[in-house]
Amino acid sequence: MTMAPTDPNIPAPERIPGAAHLYSGKVRDLYQVGDDLLMVASDRVSAYDRVFPTTIPDKGRILTALSLFWFDQVADIAPNHVLAAAPPQVPEQVRGRAIRCRTLTMLPVECVARGYLTGGGLAEYRDHGVVSGIELPAGLVDGSRFEQALFTPSTKAAQGEHDLPIGFDQVRATVGDAVAERARDITLRVYERCASLARERGVVMADTKIELGFDPAAGPGTTDLVIADEVGTPDSSRFWPAESWQPGRAQESFDKQVLRDWLRHDSGFSGSPDEPMPQIPDEVVELTRGRYLEAYRRITGTAWEG
């Protein structure tokens, strides 16, 4: 059964021969192809769980290419859902921005690792001195680096609602001790691997989010988790230029923070849930696209040729 999008800025899904549309999220559209799924990344962009009416050219292909790069880098940590990323398994119509993947039963929590204090973690720390139930020392500032990366899970909210931070005990209560510990281990190892490689290439990965699930064929009681969705993209991670990282101030970024900042400070948008999202000016579109391209270039070591 097709699930209709709840956000008016998510358009009707593409018609792809041989593929049945299942669901449209803020950025990706999901289709059924035989026993497999086809995950198609669009050029849509969102902020604060709302989708803009304006798109960012090439964004879907950049996200897909970066995810495939990182899936290869962390393949020894945990398996992933990728079956194919090119024709004939992927329709020519969506070549470059689609992945054919395994159907999984997804964990009902968001798995987040933080190596630096910023964003929602910073806000929680300022209010309560903790991040996802982890007590932190006093005196930390925006951009402070942790001695060890933190596992800071959150709820997996419905579209249009906000994820909320939760503690590890709540994850254990939700999925069981063994699965919770495996999820934490995978998340931290993926972050540490990606952050180390990124740092070698002049990029700070401040935090990242991954999706984990089970292969239904594995049977009940398994702790064999599979990485799904995306890894290490500007949509799922915060990237900063290493040369300009300086704790105590907002960091320059290679992600969509430039878009969040424009929305908050210069767009005139009040944040009301009933208020339509504004059109993004051309100069902000190009600046955002440039940040995605620079993240791709630095991390992969190759210029975008799309």
pLDDT of residue 217: 81
Phi, psi of 126 (to 5 degrees): -65, -35
Helix ranges, 166-225 (H): 168-175, 177-200
Q: What is the CA radius of gyration of the chain?
A: 19
Task: Please enumerate in sequence order all residues whose Cβ is within 8 A of that of 54, keeping only pairs 6 or more positions apart, or say none.
Answer: 45, 279, 280, 285
For residues 31 and 101, the answer to whether their CB atoms sit within 8 Å is: no
Give the model confidence (pLDDT) of 202-214 as tens digits: 999 999 999 999 9
Is residue 237 within 8 Å of residue 193, measured between CB atoms? Answer: no
Task: Please count the other Cβ atoms lying within 10 Å of the Cβ belonging to residue 75.
Answer: 12
Domains of the chain: 47-79+102-306 (3.30.470.20)
Distance in angstroms (rounded) separating the CA atoms of residues 195 and 211: 17
CA end-to-end span of the chain, whole Å?
A: 34
> Is residue 96 predicted with pLDDT exceeding 60?
yes
Task: Name the amino acid, one letter, at 268.
Answer: G
What's residue 1's pLDDT?
A: 38
The position carrying tokens 């964003």 is 119
What are phi and psi for residue 106, nearest 5 degrees?
A: -85, 145
Q: What percent of the chain has pLDDT over 70?
A: 95
Please say whether the beta carbons of 70 and 232 come within 8 A: yes
> What local confidence, expressed as pLDDT, does residue 171 receive?
97
Q: pTM for the complete prediction?
A: 0.93
